[in-house]
């Protein structure tokens, strides 16, 4: 958010950049309708509020198809290594999987436990790295045989 000359003044204008991520079932049109409804409400209820909504980069959401052979293979090896089925979900962040999937290349996301991805403090649970290695090794050997 940018506006004003210093922290103690009221700015004549303000600029906000918003990153709105999509999930399966949404597209750029549904997101624009959602944002426009919010901004139209503000324009109707807040004196001197005006807005201009401009599009930036849109990335399609991704959700792995649980019926593809690669997903079934990895799920089987993950369940064996974890002692339970892995949690299947769509993620709110963008990855290359969306591009690969749209190009007809079946794929999925599966990784380690940890936190802080792409942050100043990022970490991985080392035990989960060992588990991931076992899952991927078994998946590759099984899938590519």
**What are the boundaries of each domain within the chain?**
1-58, 69-143
Cα–Cα distance for residue pair 18/31, rounded to 1 Å: 12
What's the pTM?
0.69
- In the numeric block, the tokens 């963008």 are attached to 94
Which H/E stretch holds residue 123? strand 123-124
Nearest to 91 by CA among 21, 16, 6, 4: 21
**Average pLDDT value for residue range 127-136:** 96
Cα–Cα distance for residue pair 96/59, rounded to 1 Å: 10
CB 134 within 8 A of CB 81: yes
Q: In 5-137, at which residue ranges do the beta strands (DSSP E only) sit?
A: 114-115, 123-124
Cα–Cα distance for residue pair 73/26, rounded to 1 Å: 28
With 80 as the cut, is the pLDDT of residue 91 above it?
no
With 70 as the cut, is the pLDDT of residue 47 above it?
yes
State which fold the 69-143 domain adopts: DNA polymerase; domain 1 (1.10.150)
């Amino acid at each position: 958010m940018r506006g004003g000359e210093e922290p103690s003044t009221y700015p004549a204008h303000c600029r906000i950049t918003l990153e709105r991520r999509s999930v399966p079932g949404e597209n750029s049109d549904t997101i624009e309708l959602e944002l426009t409804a919010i901004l139209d409400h503000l324009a109707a209820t807040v004196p001197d509020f005006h807005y201009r909504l401009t599009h930036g980069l849109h990335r399609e959401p991704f959700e792995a198809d649980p019926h593809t052979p690669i997903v079934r293979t990895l799920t089987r090896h993950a369940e064996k290594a974890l002692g339970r089925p892995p949690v299947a979900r769509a993620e709110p962040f963008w990855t290359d999987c969306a591009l690969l999937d749209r190009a007809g290349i079946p794929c999925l996301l599966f990784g380690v436990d940890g936190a802080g991805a792409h942050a100043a403090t990022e970490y991985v649970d080392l035990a989960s790295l060992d588990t991931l290695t076992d899952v991927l090794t078994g998946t590759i050997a099984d899938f590519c045989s």
